[in-house]
Amino acid sequence: MNTNQQPDIHLNLNVRGLPVSATLAINERSNELLKEGRQVYKLGLGQSPFPVPQPVVDMLKVNAHQKDYLPVKGLMELRNTVADYYRRTQGLDYSGEDIIIGPGSKELMFIVQLVYYGDLMIPTPSWVSYAPQAQIIGRQVKWIDTTESNKWLITPEEIDKECSKDPSRPRILILNYPNNPTGYTYGPEQLEALAEVARKYKIVVLSDEIYGELHHEGKHISIARYYPEGTIISSGLSKWCGAGGWRLGTFAIPRTLRWLLDKMSVVASETYTATSAPIQYAAVSAFKGGLAIENYLWQSRRIVKALGTWCADMLIEKGVGVERPMGGFYLFPDFEPLREKLEKKGIYTSSELCETILNEAGVAMLPGSEFGRPEKELTVRLAYVDFDGARAITAAEQIPSEEELNGEYLRTYCGNVVKAIEKVCDWIG
């Protein structure tokens, strides 16, 4: 018998049937097509196009010799620096004792669900890994509906509607903003209203703010300002610092939930032991900030704002339902207004839509069904990241800050994304 093809009779039922994460799968498939000589524009995987800031790279080089196991909860210098970061940027009263460091925020999200017994409330659409993690652990997922007319943002009324069915039931609410997959975000009044209903039902809010520093106006606000006692802030280096492959995540957990942090560290000690030492030392410089980091962030925001706006405007001209993004580097276009035209091409689902566009236009995107939307809804996620971020930042630095980055700049320095959107628009006809 081929040992590589063992029957799955002993496979955990929670894992059976789960595919590889959709974002990773589309990236691997895109790379395979490129190796075959196909022209593929990679708008599937949401990996930051920007380089790791030079001061952070320099600190990694300096600390490459660090080989000892660090504390399970993380390097104390880094934990203190992350706490300082939240005091500086959000006015939140954290200390290093409130911070835990992990090998990516994704791992920390898994562990907090493992430790905290409760339903997982997820707005739809949402990032592809929230629900599978809950399924693996055996937690119940409650999808909270959103609407395109409200920019796919969750409302207090929808939370109240779900929680009122069983008011005392323990729950974790995922709140991700600026949002993956939509690119939209919440304002102060919306966050305050969400905080009020979360407090009413004693919900633990897991606020995934990994794209916070990529708010296009640099005005990200954490819901922890309004609900400090029940909010866990999740962040890391992958999106705003361009260091996805470094795998470093952070959780800021209020003192009222210190028991949760302590239990998470117990699980961490028996699983990943500690996060990479050189990476933790280097991360200190990222969270400390400074002029070089601020310039890097300012230029990054400037570029993704200009590019996201251009992409949205092009699709809107073709009748696709989408608005200009507010943060991050995603769009969630709705092709529903074009359904009649698409059905003539034999396209009835979001999966068929993405498959056809990949085959006929060479543009890789992900169907909305991977993000919790109905299969028959013609939504897709588009990550406008297929460009050389280092080259783009260098060029943007030569353009006066008061000037917008125009179409000529985007075509020159973000050419693959521009061509991809033009390919999709041409395909629409």
Question: Token digits for 390?
Answer: 């280092």
Task: Please report the pLDDT score of residue 330 as a whole number.
Answer: 97
Distance CA 342, CA 349 (A): 10
Are both 280 and 312 inside the same structural domain?
no
108 and 242 part of one domain: yes
Residuewise pLDDT in 10s, the chain (429 residues): 444 555 455 556 565 554 555 555 666 776 776 677 778 899 988 899 999 999 999 999 999 999 999 999 999 999 999 999 999 999 999 999 999 999 999 999 999 999 999 999 999 999 988 988 988 999 999 999 999 999 999 999 999 999 999 999 999 999 999 999 999 999 999 999 999 999 999 999 999 999 999 999 999 999 999 999 999 999 999 999 999 999 999 999 999 999 999 999 999 999 999 999 999 999 999 999 999 999 999 999 999 999 999 999 999 999 999 999 999 999 999 999 999 999 999 999 999 999 899 989 999 999 999 899 999 999 999 999 999 999 999 999 999 999 999 999 999 999 999 999 999 999 998
CATH number of the CATH domain containing 24: 3.90.1150.10
Q: So what's the pLDDT on residue 164?
A: 96
d(CA 129, CA 110): 9
Sheet holding 330-331, edge to edge: 330-331, 380-383, 366-367
From 233, 268, 289, give the residue that closes a domain. Answer: 289
Distance between CA 183 and CA 401 in Å, rounded? 23
Q: Based on the domain organization, do 372 and 264 belong to the same domain?
A: no
86 and 230, same domain (yes or no): yes
Separation between Cα atoms, residue 383 and residue 362, nearest integer Å: 15
Q: Which amino acid does the sequence have at 216?
A: H
Domain identity same for 76 and 112: yes
**Which of 242, 270, 289 is the C-terminal boundary of a domain?**
289
Out of 264, 289, 314, a domain closes at: 289
Residue 219: give the domain boundaries. 54-289
Q: Which two tokens mark 198?
A: 């979360």
- Report how far residue 398's alpha carbon sits from residue 186's, in angstroms, rounded to the nearest whole number: 32
Residues 282, 297 within the same domain: no
Q: DSSP of 401-425, one letter per residue? A: TTS---HHHHHHHSHHHHHHHHHHH
Same-domain check for residues 30 and 73: no
- HSE at residue 84, side-chain half, CA atoms within 13 A, is 12
Q: What angle do CA 368, 158, 222 make, to 5 degrees?
A: 80
Say what the pLDDT of residue 2 is: 45
H or E element in which residue 120 lies:
strand 119-124
pLDDT of residue 398: 96
282 and 296 housed in the same domain: no
Query: What local confidence, expressed as pLDDT, does residue 10 receive?
Result: 52
Q: How many CB atoms lie within 10 A of CB 395?
A: 17
Same domain, 343 and 229: no
The confidence score (pLDDT) of residue 34 equals 66
CATH of the domain at 133: 3.40.640.10
How far is it, in rounded angstroms, from Cα 324 to Cα 306?
A: 10
pLDDT score recorded for residue 13? 53
pLDDT at residue 26, as a whole number: 64
Work out how many domains the chain is built from and give that number: 2
Q: Which residues pair with 204 in a beta bridge?
A: 172
pLDDT of residue 35: 76
The number of residues in the chain equals 429
Residue 40: predicted pLDDT: 84
Residue whose token pair is 């939370």? 159
pLDDT given for residue 314 in this prediction: 98
| Rounded Cα gap, residues 18 and 22, in angstroms | 10
pLDDT confidence of residue 3: 45
Does 194 lie in the same domain as 67?
Answer: yes
Distance CA 137, CA 407 (A): 47
Tell me: do 173 and 38 sit in the same domain. no
The contacts of residue 157 (CB under 8 Å, 6+ apart) are none
| 190 and 226 part of one domain | yes
